[in-house]
C-alpha cells in the first residue's frame, strides 16, 4: 500500500548526540517536506525538497540538515541534539500537478532531548 513512513515514532536521547530521523514514501511523490510542531500546535516548515539533490530551508530556522539522494527518502539529521530540539517532527510529501494539491503526512517522530 502506498504510504509515507517515519521512524522512529518516539526517541529519547541525551544532549550532544547525533540523530537521524527517517522518512520514506512509496507514492512516487516528487516533493517532500519536514515540519516541526511544538505543543503550541502551530506547524512550522523547516525543510523542503522539490526533487532529488534539491533541498531548501523552510520558514522556521532550524539547526537540522536534510538530504534527498533518492526520490523516496528524505532523512533529517541533527548533528548535536539539544533540549531545545525537543518537539514533534512531521514529514510530508506531495505530487506536482494532479487534482489534489494537499500533502500526505507521516505519523511523526516525537523527539525528547534530555
Partner 1 sequence: DQQVKQNSPSLSVQEGRISILNCDYTNSMFDYFLWYKKYPAEGPTFLISISSIKDKNEDGRFTVFLNKSAKHLSLHIVPSQPGDSAVYFCAATAREAQKLVFGQGTRLTINP
The verdict on 71 binding partner 1 (CB under 8 A) reads no
Stretch binding partner 1 (CB under 8 A), from 12-20, 42-50, 62-70, 74-82:
42-50
Binding to partner 1, residues 77-96 (CB under 8 A): 88, 90-92, 94, 96
- Other Cβ atoms closer than 10 A to 94: 19
CA 83 to chain centre: 18
* Residue 43 in contact with partner 1, rule: CB under 8 A: yes
Cα angle 75-93-62, degrees, rounded to a multiple of 5 = 50
CA gap 7, 39 in Å, rounded = 20
Question: Footprint of partner 1 on this chain (CB under 8 A)?
Answer: 6, 9, 31, 40-43, 45, 48, 88, 90-92, 94, 96, 100-108, 110
Amino acid at each position: 500500500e502506498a504510504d509515507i513512513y517515519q521512524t522512529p515514532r518516539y526517541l529519547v536521547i541525551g544532549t550532544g548526540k547525533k540523530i537521524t530521523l527517517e522518512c520514506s514514501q512509496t507514492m512516487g511523490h516528487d516533493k517532500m517536506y519536514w515540519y516541526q510542531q511544538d505543543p503550541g500546535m502551530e506547524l512550522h516548515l523547516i525543510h523542503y525538497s522539490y526533487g532529488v539533490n534539491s533541498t531548501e530551508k523552510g520558514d522556521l530556522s532550524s539547526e537540522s540538515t536534510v538530504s534527498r539522494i533518492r526520490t523516496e527518502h528524505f532523512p533529517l539529521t541533527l548533528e548535536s541534539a539539544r533540549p531545545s530540539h525537543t518537539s514533534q517532527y512531521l514529514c510530508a510529501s506531495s505530487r506536482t500537478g494532479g487534482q489534489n494539491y494537499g500533502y500526505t503526512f507521516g505519523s511523526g517522530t516525537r523527539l525528547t532531548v534530555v
